Amino acid sequence: MGTVLKVTLGVVLGGMVLIIGCSALLTAGSEDVGDEGSDEAAKVKVERTRLIYQPDQTGGRFHAAFVIVRNPSSEPVDVSGQVSVKENGRLIKSFEPTATILPRSRGILMDDALDLPQAVRRGKLETQLVSTRSTEADSAPEVKISKLRYSKDEIASCKISGTVAHNGKETFEIRVNAIGYQGPRIVSGGFTFVEKVFPNSPATFDVDIASTALCPDQLDRMEAFWEPGPGGLSG
């Protein structure tokens, strides 16, 4: 049985928040988010959020939304629900995020092409989420992501590359979510799928990012998180 929560927060630059598996009211600024309330709420930590408007993208007013979450519990969790973007009390748009956060791990929920009817620089997010134990991720092997590097071309795109490997017995698909920082602020990110990762055989990946708003000249550091791909862990 899942836990339902509602979170209302004020944000600067349209930052968003995701909370997994707790029931509490949280408030936050543009990026750094803490939690308060019961001991149950303290089991899940929202560490950082960011929403970046991408004015160079055509066909809509696209934003990239990033939410980093820590799951210190011993169980993996799946999260789903609704996020409503509001500005000046008016509903702009609602969307439904999903993510799998592994036990005692950090993870990220992102939407790198969130199309809103207007650029949202100041607003509120009203979020109603449901979290349940992830039975699929229960069988996850140890997965390691390493050798992260960032490169930018001369036009408008960039990429975060790296290597992924696991010590399981099956070949399966992995989704890799990668983000880049300047100082404490998230400034870049995206995701990709590695269709076949063989046991004990590292595979390379490239997270291609096609927006000048997400491609600074350089990054101070990078992080990458993984979750099971659409095909699951059954090979």
Mean pLDDT: which of 82-91, 196-205, 225-234 is highest?
196-205
C-beta of residue 61 within 8 angstroms of C-beta of residue 113: no
pLDDT (tens digit per residue) in 66-77: 878 777 778 888
The pLDDT value recorded for residue 162 is: 97
With tokens 């992995």, the residue in question is 174
Q: If we measure between CA atoms, which residue out of 213, 45, 212, 220 comes closest to residue 121? A: 213
* Residue 66, token pair as written in the block: 């990033």
Reply yes or no on whether the pLDDT at 164 is more than 90: yes
Mean pLDDT: which of 69-73, 167-171, 220-224 is highest?
220-224
Q: If we measure between CA atoms, which residue out of 222, 168, 230, 163 comes closest to residue 193? A: 230
Which domains are present in the chain? 3-133 (2.60.40), 140-228 (2.60.40.10)
* pTM recorded for the entire structure: 0.76
C-beta of residue 59 within 8 angstroms of C-beta of residue 211: no
Q: If we measure between CA atoms, which residue out of 122, 115, 117 comes closest to residue 62? A: 115
The H-assigned helical ranges of the chain are none
